[in-house]
Amino acid sequence: MLNYIKILDDIDCADSDFQMIIGLLKWVFSAICTAIPVIIIILIVIDMTKVATAGNVDDKMKKEAGQKAVTRIIYAVIVFLVPTLVNLIFRLLPRSDGSSFVDCWNGGVKYSQK
């Protein structure tokens, strides 16, 4: 574990390739956090529409559609927690200069280890 931290400590936050990777990861997280609610709303509407338009609706179908909706909402909450967990992990990995990797992630401070 300490070897990984040593390797991570050697990362130059000001490196343009590293900044490009961080930018790409931020874009992916943003796209996922934007797309997930839209997809979940569409899927819940489709499920509820199926139940509403079914000719013979019983309580079992309503209950199953409700359970699917709740499950999808739980999955969405888990997806929304991923960026928070990444920030937490970066904050827990200190660098030798006293900063943390969250500074690299946020782009607020540029470092040069060279």
Q: Residue 94: what are its φ and ψ, rounded to 5°? A: -75, 155
What is the model's pLDDT at position 110? 43
Low-confidence ranges of the chain (pLDDT < 70): 1-11, 94-100, 107-114
Per-residue pLDDT tens over the stretch 68-95: 989 988 988 888 888 778 778 777 776 6
Q: What is the mean pLDDT of the chain?
A: 76
Distance CA 94, CA 11 (A): 12
Its sign, for the CA torsion 15, 16, 17, 18, is: positive
What is the model's pLDDT at position 8? 58
Q: Is the pTM of this model over 0.85?
A: no
